[in-house]
Amino acid sequence: MPTHEHRNDIVKHIAGYTFGITLFVFLIPYGIWRLASSGLALFSVPLTSNTDVRITLALLFFVPGVVFAIWSNLVLFFKGKGGPADVAGIAISPRTQKLAVTGPYKYTRNPMVFGMNAIYLSMALFFNSLGCLRVLIILFLIMVRYVVLREEDRLLADFGADYEAYKKKTSMLIPLSPKKHVSSPTE
């Protein structure tokens, strides 16, 4: 029979993923779509007049974005034994018990942020909206400030030298070939 603490973790995981999916998978894309279809002059300025280029670029960002977003959540849940814990300093799911450095975390310390922003960029390209692209740049900067940097402070506090070594060898946001595989003693 599950302990009270285990039941609380399950509830926190469900609440965290419900919040995350609602915000990052539904509300932000809905906002992008609404801005692109608003008819406002700012959002009606096209990025390109070539539909084939626009659709191809949108797919080139969308597919890896989806892969990184899903893959990173699976690795965090199954290997890290936790979830995407904090958004703007608010705990939304149980913190990871193990430092995730494999899978997409081998290429970037923030594969969820990369994945979701790649999806949002693909939407701006698909909707052909320079205004949406501008809004997404601002959203990206806000995410870095209030999600990524705060999360890095938390991970440093939770995992110390292991996180510091991982941080030195792995790109913050853009997936790059790792300088050298970093394994955590807790793996």
Across 42-128, the runs of DSSP E, i.e. the strands, are 86-87, 90-91
Tell me whether residue 41 is in a domain.
yes
Between 181 and 49, residue with greater pLDDT: 49
Q: Which pLDDT score, from 0 to 100, does residue 139 have?
A: 94
Residue 148 belongs to a domain: yes
> Would 20 be classed as within a structural domain?
yes
Distances in whole angstroms, Cα of residue 26 to Cα of each of 34, 65, 76, 172 = 12, 15, 21, 25
**Which of the two residues, 90 and 46, has the higher pLDDT score?**
46
Give tens-digit pLDDT for 127-154. Answer: 999 999 999 999 999 989 988 998 899 8
Examine residue 183 and state whether it is found in any structural domain, yes or no. Answer: no
Range of the domain at 114: 4-169
Residue 110 lies in a domain: yes
Is 23 within the bounds of a domain? yes
Q: Is 182 among the domain residues?
A: no
pLDDT at 33: 96
pLDDT, tens only, 80-90: 887 766 665 56
* pLDDT over 70 at 183, yes or no: no
Tell me how many domains the chain contains: 1
**Are 112 and 92 contacting, i.e. CB atoms less than 8 angstroms apart?**
no
Residue with tokens 């975390």: 105
pLDDT at residue number 168: 94
Which pLDDT does position 187 carry in this prediction? Answer: 46
Q: Which of 39-48, 71-80, 88-97, 120-129 has the lowest mean pLDDT?
A: 88-97
Residue 84 lies in a domain: yes
CB 29 within 8 A of CB 119: yes
